[in-house]
Chain A
Amino acid sequence: MRKNVWKSVSLLLIALCIVITGCSSDNKEKTNAGTDGGANTASDGEIKVGILHSLSGTMAISEVSVKEAEMMAIDEINAKGGVLGKKLVPVVEDGASDWPTFAEKARKLISEDGVATVFGGWTSASRKAMLPVFEELNGLLWYPVQYEGLEASPNIFYTGATTNQQIVPAVTWLLQNRGKTFFLLGSDYVFPRTANKIIKEQLKAEGGELVGEEYTPLGHTDYATIISKIKAAKPDVVFNTLNGDSNVAFFKQLKDAGITAKDMTTLSVSVAEEEIRGIGVDVLEGHLAAWNYYQSTDTPENKTFVENYKKKYGADRVTADPIEAGYDAVYLWAAAVEKAGSTDVAKVKEAAKGLEWDAPEGKIKIDGDNQHIYKTVRIGEVQADGQFKELWNSGDPVKPDPYLKGYDWAGSLSAGN
């Protein structure tokens, strides 16, 4: 019987491999048509735009809301008469939390559907998978999530924060206000590892001290041992780059171990309003996060945005930084197209340089050099109602610097390693 089990397990593995290769080769055959891409808009007063997020799989938790915000922006623009007098027609594809699928679907959107632009992606892995496709077919991608920097593709606009608009100022603020010893905790993949490499350089340069660094696999659910290590290291600050469900387990178990926000500061870069609901306010209260936008951000544009979002998707829904960045992306693209008078990728990129817009987070501006966005940095504290209270902001929007060229200590990082 033992033998049977192993036999069937290995048979399953083979079956899985066949299924996976079957799926991907299935899609590859369709890539011949329309390789000039991007420019060919649909006829009859319509412009097709692609939306490519994970609507199933583990990332659906986060990406579904971004998709909804993008759809809302498209509806709003259509209600006001569309772009260049044409209606926007969204073509929605599911990336299924699987990076090769993102690449295949991006190819399909550009080549077959002939979309003018694509809004999509969340994880860095999905962006890295799509990047060569957009560069090869000269498409246009709007990527809405904060990320680890060290990238500037001519075919991607980055509407989320790069490191110098989130992590770097947060570390500086923590060093000045909360203490010198840092414990770095992150999920084991590209974003946390790159982010922590930057933080370590910065700590060296700005007089901080690293007392521990730990990575856990995505989906890790038991933090007992890590918490013992944190207790032994006694840091002033835990800088948390965990992603997804692990945050729930970490914060619940941290509280049970008798550590609250009063005893030790934690600052997270992947915990926003949406995640607070899943983790539970009772365990998160008092902990910090760094973003460019909170639902509580006080601007007239944000008031309307939050109202409309809740009206459309339910009063119990919350907005968050990536949701807002996805919403901004659609408006920025629409404004660039209006200015260019065309959806041609080269013309839109030219028109987008220096474009300004009053976003819910305040005034934002596209940087012509690296196609990132000038954004205001905000550090917030979780309140009992599940919202953030802003403790500090950078005042003016910060110029994006994905390669951290403006920081002396970051020399070795931007040199390409």
Chain B
Amino acid sequence: MDVIVLQLFNGFSVSSILLLIALGLAITFGLMKVINMAHGELIMIGAYSAYVVQNLFLSYMPSSMFNWYFIAAIPFSFIVAFLIGLLLEATLIRFLYGRPLDSLLATWGIGLMLQQLARTIFGAPNVGVTSPSWLNGGMTIMGDVVLPYKRLFIIALVCLCLVAMYVYIYRSHSGRRMRAVMQNREMAACLGISTRRVDAMTFAIGSGIAGIAGCALTLMGPIGPSIGTYYIVDAFMVVVLGGVGKLIGTVFGALGIGLSNTVFEYWTTASLGKVLVFLCIVAFLQWKPMGLVAMRSRSLD
């Protein structure tokens, strides 16, 4: 019984992490159709931003404030990744809309450059981030089942990001403009929407959310120049399985992969579990090539 509860929780926790790394990609790839291979590196930038904020707090703030560095690190990571996304869009991505293969190769190259840049600035070895003490430990429910605060925190953070994105995309004016441009660029332009500005904004927001993911992942995993490569495949998997273009699809995709991965991993081993998940995804996409939630669209492409 303990194990079932714990594994259920682990499944949701893994799903939340998957969702967090895939949310940014759901925008840049899902909405904008840019195969953004540098997404992992934007996560890496978020992680290093958290590291920088931690060091700033260590050097310039009284030590009593140190525990709160993480709260400052989240918006800081968002802003840094947002600005780098803006720069990328302005200098490169905007020349590659509608050319998926080119954008794939170009962003892959950008990813390699960003990795090397991180290596030059921070050195090749991993860096350490000390988690704030209020996130240490966990909530004990029924005997042996401990729910770590960090995992609970990430679940909460993901929910927050989801709500914010939902409000922005579906309930705000700029979100409506964004959807209009993504659905029918020419018509939107005819109606007086500045598609350039919308593109730049959309890509930057997607990048910023990747930054938040990177910041949150410092709680759970390593922080090094090549961590992006660990997450990029999972991120694409979630978006493709969920159905390109729909936010709710990404949520279901993450839940599906996270829960099944946990179950398979518990029954078999980590390597075999992953193979089984991949097999299921391949089989599912054979059956439903559009993913879990298909976007209904009248445009022909």
Contacts and interface: CB of A to CB of B under 8 A. Distances in A.
Asked whether A and B interact, the reply is: yes
Interface of A: 1-2, 4-5, 8-9, 11-12, 15, 56-58, 60-62, 64-65, 188, 214-217, 219-222, 224-226, 228-229, 231-232, 245-249, 252-253, 255-258, 274-275, 277-282
B39 interface: no
B124 interface: yes
A64 B124 contact: yes
Contacts of B101: 8, 11-12
18 contacts: A2-B244, A11-B101, A60-B225, A61-B224, A62-B125, A65-B125, A215-B269, A222-B220, A225-B262, A228-B10, A245-B221, A245-B224, A245-B227, A245-B230, A252-B220, A258-B148, A278-B127, A282-B131
B137 to A, nearest CB: 7
A274 B151 contact: no
B35 A274 contact: no
Contacts, number: 147
Q: Lowest 6 CB-CB distances: which A-B pairs, in order? A: A278-B126, A256-B148, A248-B222, A245-B222, A224-B10, A216-B270
A5 B148 contact: no
A24 B220 CA distance: 38
Which applies to chain A's interface (DSSP): helix, strand, loop or mixed?
helix
B64 interface: no
Given A11-B101, A57-B226, A219-B230, A248 B17 contact: no
A217 B126 contact: no
B176 to A, nearest CB: 21
Interface in B26-63: 33, 35
Interface of B: 3, 6-7, 10, 13-14, 17, 33, 35, 100-101, 104-105, 116, 119, 124-131, 136-138, 140, 144, 146, 148-151, 217, 219-227, 229-231, 240, 244, 262, 265-266, 269-271, 273-274, 289-290, 301
A214 B266 CA distance: 11
B301 A1 contact: yes
A265 B118 CA distance: 35
Given A1-B33, A8-B104, A258 B138 contact: yes
Given A245-B126, A245-B224, A257 B146 contact: yes
A99 B156 CA distance: 42
B264 to A, nearest CB: 9
B230 A221 contact: yes
Nearest to A279: B128
Contact of A220 (B128, B240, B270): B270
Contacts of A61: 124-126, 224, 226
Given A214-B270, A280-B130, A228 B3 contact: yes
Contacts of A280: 128-130
B125 A274 contact: yes
Contacts of B223: 248, 278
A112 B131 CA distance: 50
Given A5-B244, A56-B116, 17 more contacts: A5-B100, A8-B35, A61-B126, A65-B125, A214-B270, A216-B270, A221-B230, A224-B262, A225-B10, A226-B265, A228-B6, A245-B222, A245-B227, A256-B150, A274-B125, A278-B128, A280-B128
